[in-house]
Amino acid sequence: KALYKIGLLFLLFSVVKTLVFFFSGSGDRTLMDVDSVSSVSSISGIFTAFNNLSEIGFLLTPYILKKTKTNQKIIIYLTLIIIFLFTILTGSRSPLVHMLLFFFIGSIIFKTFNPKSIKRGSIIFLILISILLPAIDTYRNLSSFAENRSVFGRINNLVNQNLVTTSSKDNIPLVTGAALYGTMTDLFIYKDTPEVIDHAGFNNFSSILYIYLPKSFFPNTPSTYDGQKIAQEYLPNKLRSFASISFDTDLYRRFSWIGVSIGNFIWGLFYGFISLILFKNFYKKPSSFSLLSIFCLYSFYLQPQTVLNQFWVWLYNFPKFLIILYFICMSFNNRKIFGNSDRLDL
């Protein structure tokens, strides 16, 4: 029951976040910038600070459906449709992919649907992604998209524009591939390093010392959230939206090919060690918290992470969410986190 209630809470968080992002304009791709989203003082920043709860919520949604009475499932599906629709209306693609992907993974984990349905779902997922990603890219670059931010205006633009055929056929594979991979910047970095721009080495590593200082109060401190800045340095054109670079590319940018090998070796050992601890804890004491800890572990790595992003994730963000999940589980289990009352029945 605790996991079911927590899933509903996170799903509620997701729909409220999506609606706030749309109606405030803070999630609109014509207005959004890194400073507004990364600042907790902004309305979008408050939700962005806890964004991984949405990902965990989508993982839990199939479990909610599995435990919900048939006549009540319509409410869950309507909630998902609202999130889906308003995410498209903001012109965002990544949250849409995350939602579909996590729901699909959650369906496999909790065995919500039979194997045949899951196979069909995987085919539908691939078809949806191949159509939606280039279509949304075309949609959000229309002049009418920027001029009309009302719900009905955006829906009218979406319905009346033949987005799939309007998208250049030559650009469809590029746009889809780049959106799924998460970045188009890597190519430029491999091309220009070190011939045009020298290897960065340990540049900006001092920002790690400022991880725990809130940007709202110390806005001028160095930031480990450096993907956008690095991308703009290498890209020939001014960015219209968010960008980042992959972990391997940042290792190469900093330390050349030897850095890619050594960095991945160290990273693999660390990530494997953390995963081993969490999975051992789950199999030893299967509880809501131990399961959500594993979900939390995997909710960070859909977007590209730079080297400094990794320090931010593991020194700040991951511990933050573990603490949040611990107290949420405690509140739903009458403070018996690891007791018999919280043992899972999946």
Q: pLDDT tens digits for 228-252? A: 888 888 887 766 556 678 899 999 9
Question: Does residue 130 register a pLDDT over 60?
Answer: yes
Question: What are the pLDDT digits (tens) for 64-85?
Answer: 999 998 888 999 999 999 999 8
Looking at every residue in the chain, the average pLDDT score rounds to 81
Question: Can you give the pLDDT at residue 43?
Answer: 67
Its pTM stands at: 0.81
Q: Where does the pLDDT of residue 342 fall: very low under 50, low under 70, confident under 90, or very high at 90 and above?
A: low
Question: pLDDT per residue over 286-339, tens digit each?
Answer: 889 999 999 988 777 656 689 999 999 899 989 999 999 999 998 887 655 444
More confident residue, 322 or 139: 322
Q: Buried b / exposed e across 182-213, counting CB within 10 Å, b at 16+?
A: bbbbbebbeeebeeeeeebeeebeebeeebee
Tell me what pLDDT residue 37 has: 46
Per-residue model confidence (pLDDT) at position 40: 47
Pick the residue with more confidence: 149 or 296? 296
Give the confidence band of 260 by pLDDT, cuts at 50, 70, 90.
Answer: very high
The average pLDDT across 145-166 equals 65
H, E, C per residue of the chain: CHHHHHHHHHHHHHHHHHHHHHHHCCCCCCCCCHHHHHCCCCHHHHHHCCCHHHHHHHHHHHHHHHHCCHHHHHHHHHHHHHHHHHHHHCCCCHHHHHHHHHHHHHHHHCCCCCHHHHHHHHHHHHHHHHHHHHHHHHHHCCHHHHHCCCHHHHHHHHHHCCHHHHCCCCCHHHHHHHHHHCCCCHHHHHHHCCCCCCCCCCCCHHHHHHCCCCCCCCCCCCCCCCHHHHHHHHCCCCCCCCCCCCHHHHHHHHHHHHHHHHHHHHHHHHHHHHHHHHHHHHHHCCEHHHHHHHHHHHCCCCCCCCHHHHHHHHHHHHHHHHHHHHHHHHHHCCCCCCCHHHECCC
Q: Which of 122-136, 157-171, 193-207, 293-307 reaches the highest mean pLDDT? A: 193-207
